[in-house]
Amino acid sequence: MARRLHEVGHPVVAVYDSNAAIASQLAQEIGSKAVEKLSDVTALSDVIFTVVTDDAAMNAIFFGPDNLFTEAKGKLFINCATISPAVHVEIEQKGEQLGAEVLETPMASSLTHAREGKLYMMLGGTKASYLRAEPILEVLTASRRYIGGAGKAAELKALVNMVMNINTAGLAEGLGLADALGLDLKIVKDVFSQTGANSRVLETDGPDMLDREHSTFFSASHAAKDSGIALELAKQQGLYLPLLEASKRQFDQMVKVGLGEIDKSGISELTFKSRKANLAK
């Protein structure tokens, strides 16, 4: 995203990463400054983008001893992480108290989409914050949808990933059973694509499952985390969602057997009899 913004003429004045070497390399590449403190990002910037892994990381960058909310009045924070909606709401409320604006913008896209300015974003927060952010979001996205107030985009993103993860687990089971039955998997995949078994996941993950090519675009550990967010939302609403629970158990199992950092397509390692990960209980 920083490379894309730089490329289209938006000055990226400061970058920060928990891995200082990565920040330094990027800063040198795009003519920016790699800072050592989160508060320096806010001090140097008018608009601050954040992308973190989970609730703990989000709380750390906004509420830790050194944080982005230092002298934040008038700043706009655009938070792209897939995390619990309640955390997004808390950060939006704190930002309002400080005179800052906060917009949640969870993404449903890949690294390639980010680099090319073709992200799909769901937006949550005030309409005023969305309108302020729109000119810069326009160069980062192919499509974006305003969902509602704080937390609403995060809720929808949790559902997007919930359905995606269930589809991924279901495809892995279907292909695993086809393999056990001795069917030609290329034919199976082709038939799936022409019938009710077709899905976007079949297109993106099907070949990887067959080839055992699990280079990480969306890790199993992230799938487990995001399924957990959706599961918590379901519990808050008094809903029992057995498919969600079952798919989360599978991604949790991947993490348990050391497959958490490969792509979620690696769930097929648990469902093919010829593959051994499913034997580790």
Q: pTM score > 0.85 for this model?
A: yes
How far apart are alpha carbons 87 and 101 in whole angstroms?
15
Confirm if 121 and 106 have CB atoms less than 8 A apart.
Answer: yes
Domain residue ranges in the chain: 2-150, 155-279
Kindly report the backbone phi and psi dihedral angles of residue 49, in degrees, each rounded to the nearest multiple of 5, phi listed first: -95, 140
How far apart are alpha carbons 90 and 171 in whole angstroms?
37
How far apart are alpha carbons 121 and 165 in whole angstroms?
19
CATH topology match: 2-150 vs 155-279: no
What would the pLDDT profile of 161-196 be if each residue is shown by its tens digit? 999 999 999 999 999 999 999 999 999 999 999 999
What would the pLDDT profile of 76-132 be if each residue is shown by its tens digit? 999 999 999 999 999 999 999 999 999 999 998 888 899 999 999 999 999 999 999
Give per-residue burial for 180-190: e unless 16+ CB within 10 Å, then b: eeeeeeeebbe
CATH of domain 155-279: 1.10.1040.10
What would the pLDDT profile of 254-270 be if each residue is shown by its tens digit? 999 999 999 999 999 99
User: Which uninterrupted H or E stretch holds 77?
Assistant: strand 76-79
The reply to whether CATH 3.40.50.720 applies to domain 2-150 is yes
